[in-house]
Chain A
Amino acid sequence: MVRLLIDETSSTSLVKMSKQQPAQFINPETPGYVGFANLPNQVHRKSVKKGFEFTLMVVGESGLGKSTLINSLFLTDLYPERVIPGAAEKIERTVQIEASTVEIEERGVKLRLTVVDTPGYGDAINCRDCFKTIICYIDEQFERYLHDESGLNRRHIVDNRVHCCFYFISPFGHGLKPLDVAFMKAIHNKVNIVPVIAKADTLTLKERERLKKRILDEIEEHSIKIYHLPDAESDEDEDFKEQTRLLKASIPFSVVGSNQLIEAKGKKVRGRLYPWGVVEVENPEHNDFLKLRTMLITHMQDLQEVTQDLHYENFRSERLKRGGRKVENEDMNKDQILLEKEAELRRMQEMIARMQAQMQLQLQGGDGDGGVHGHHV
């Protein structure tokens, strides 16, 4: 498995560097050396040339800081002309899907990042139909990939499948809301869910711990399958194992997002300035932003793999089993289809009977020129 090499300028992160630096090249004349140990380097070079694609979906009620977090994570301004709609417009709005793509490059490595936003989620008074649009979108991407994969020209398949979904949980509740549970259960078989507690600066440390525990309990109670970080393999070094352990223990991550630079303790940090103090975004004691970023970056490849191997394959097998027949309404069950078929049959029979009667009349009328008189009893 090729590990992504994205160097971190921040000294506090512990991204694992590949053991084999491209610079070190073992002498090919060494006896017993075949040379395929160099393969990872070749793959690495090719991947860097090709660039990476990643699609991230963010779902959550409005006002939970989703856009701010995305901007903070990728240090970009994905929504430069954002206009927050007024309350009157919100009433009529349904859930929409907005995908924005941005190309980020760092140290020669290109990442084509697509962020799929879902404005309008959870806004309406009746949120029953909130997630239909989102599920349709996810299925559509799978469908498109399946179509491309089964097509003739497979060289440039664009992978727009959703690799990861950040689900934003409100810190103000006492755990998961019914809408959260319903939504996660609807998509946990289609996409990797990473639950995130938004606006974590409203919670004290104790409240945060309690909320995390409560959310984990509820996730287990409702058998929701969230994305689990793969355990560190036994041949990794201790640091990496420890880091993975820490990451796993912090799920769901409680984050704060900001792109504003505030002066705190003599240095400039990204944070939020309150009258009672400064919340630093990149301070691990204040929130789990760094952990979330580390997780996303070190496991980007794994997220893509799980999407490909698990979710996409599930979708594909379901789809092919259905045999290309487009199911219009999934709620229709077999009995209904049977009834409909019977009704159709009856209609056909009636039509045939009518046609027969008409034919009869015509025949009668044909030799009935003299038959008029024949009616005399």
Chain B
Amino acid sequence: MDPLRQSPSPSSSRASSPRTFSCERLGYVGIEAVLDQLKIKAMKMGFEFNIMVVGQSGLGKSTMVNTLFKSKIWKSTMPGLRVPMPQTLQLHSVTHVIEENGVKLKLTVTDTPGFGDQINNDKCWDPVLGYINEQYERYLQEEILITRQRHIPDTRVHCCVYFVPPTGHCLRPLDLEFLQRLCRAVNVVPVIARADSLTIEEREAFRHRIQDDLKTHSIEVYPQKSFDEDINDKILNSKIRERIPFAVVGADREHMVNGRCVLGRKTKWGIIEVENMAHCEFPLLRDLLIRSHLQDLKDITHNVHYENYRIIRLKESHALPRGPGWVNLAPTQSPTPTGTRASPGPGKVCRWAEDDSDEDF
């Protein structure tokens, strides 16, 4: 190509319009400036990210979220503090807008206190699945309106972080049931919680056993093998897949180590540094969720999981639910749509839609 071409420096946030270049250079069209335009637009709009944390109480979920986003999203509950154990599984979400270098992120974290804490934990995954499907439904309803909003508020869960207790043995039946069901509906990232109770050898053995269990039960966790688009993705994701589940430790207190201020847990025998790769794999989790794969998580949620949900809903009713501005999306050759009125026949579908719209107005 043209040897004189120069790409704009990556750190410049100002859009360099083609006019500032010597656009009179031969062979230069200026398509690459689209990237800058996208960037400005994205920064203006801000990003949304919805994350759900699932796991038994005391596994450090709240602390992990605080550590991930370096903010006090939740008031992390200390062990031993009087926390009333909820009798049924309740979900509650918290939304924060955090900003870094001009980039705004609207972060919603959904917690699931009471998961797996009862004596009988049968069907404790139902409220979680219900919540996820509810968000899909909400988005679907917005999408099928005639006059849609320009930017549909996205409350769909982009990522579900599942905390596996560090038993050192293998996945428990509860873990397996939950993962099997949820992997089909949402991106699941399993992590080994409170990994400071495992030595390095125990950690590796545990990890391998979990990977074997996941393979045996055909549970596809994020990053899913079937969604790798090209060879680069494959290589990158394979590296990540080797280390899943990450062994993480969360901490929101700072201590002084060798003159540096680090996040960590201080014990009598040493300080566990959260961001030290030799101690735990928290940096890998953070990079996956935020620095490298955040957009990918959202894309897969939108293109795969949401579409699956939509297809199921379509199949269920042969038409989408009748909301305001209901439109019959069923193909014209479809048989009798469900409803109390007798079908006038396939040829009359359009008229039927008109009739209905008369009814609505």
Contact = CB atoms under 8 A, between A and B. Distances in A.
A274 B270 contact: yes
Given A182-B119, A207-B80, A174 B170 contact: no
Interface in A46-69: 61-64
Instruction: Report which residue of B85, B174, B267 has the largest number of chain A beta carbons within 10 angstroms of its beta carbon.
Output: B267
Given A86-B209, A128-B120, A174 B199 contact: no
B119 A62 contact: no
A273 interface: yes
A207 to B, nearest CB: 5
Contacts of B177: 125
B170 A86 contact: yes
A26 interface: no
Nearest to B118: A178
Nearest to B196: A202
B122 A125 contact: yes
Contacts of A363: none
Interface in A263-284: 272-280
Interface in B146-198: 165-177, 193-194, 196-197
B278 interface: yes
A123 B118 CA distance: 12
Contacts of B171: 87
Given A201-B197, A202-B196, A63 B169 contact: yes
A54 to B, nearest CB: 28
Indicate the size class of the contact surface on chain A.
35 or more
A210 B273 contact: no
A195 interface: no
Nearest to B60: A172
Interface string A180-199: 00100000000000000001
A214 B77 CA distance: 13
Interface in B225-284: 265-273, 278-279
Best-buried of B193, B272, B278 by chain A (most CB within 10 Å): B272
B279 A276 contact: yes
Contacts of A90: 170, 172-173
Nearest to B212: A86
Contacts of A1: none
Nearest to B82: A214
Nearest to A176: B85
A201 B278 CA distance: 18
A210 B212 contact: no
Contacts of B169: 62-63, 84
Interface stretch (B51-59, B304-312, B318-326, B327-335): B51-59
B265 to A, nearest CB: 6
B216 interface: yes
Given A63-B166, A172-B194, A173-B56, A286 B269 contact: yes
- The prevalent SS among residues of B at the interface is loop
B353 to A, nearest CB: 48
Contact of A178 (B85, B268, B279): B85
Given A86-B209, A90-B173, A274-B196, A61 B167 contact: yes
B200 interface: yes
Contact of A202 (B57, B118, B194, B270): B194
B81 interface: yes
A234 interface: no
Nearest to A126: B120
A203 B79 contact: yes
B36 interface: no
B196 A201 contact: yes
Contacts of A252: none
A123 B268 contact: no
B1 interface: no
Contacts of B216: 86-88
A127 interface: yes
A123 B78 contact: no
B172 A87 contact: yes
Contact of A199 (B60, B80, B120, B197): B197
A172 B167 CA distance: 11
A30 interface: no
B117 A177 contact: yes
A304 to B, nearest CB: 32
A175 B170 CA distance: 24
B267 A277 contact: yes
A12 interface: no
Nearest to A260: B199
A173 B57 contact: yes
A209 B78 CA distance: 11
B173 A173 contact: no
A280 B83 CA distance: 32
B213 interface: yes
A284 to B, nearest CB: 11
A44 interface: no
A205 interface: yes
B268 to A, nearest CB: 6
Given A84-B169, A276-B271, A202 B197 contact: yes
Interface of A: 61-64, 84-88, 90-91, 123-128, 170-175, 177-179, 182, 199, 201-205, 207, 209-214, 272-280, 285-286
8 contacts: A84-B169, A87-B176, A170-B165, A178-B118, A274-B272, A275-B278, A277-B267, A286-B268
Given A84-B170, A272-B199, 10 more contacts: A64-B167, A86-B212, A172-B79, A173-B56, A213-B80, A274-B196, A274-B200, A279-B269, A285-B268, A286-B269
CB-CB nearest 9 A-B residue pairs: A63-B167, A210-B80, A277-B270, A277-B269, A276-B270, A173-B58, A202-B197, A214-B80, A172-B58
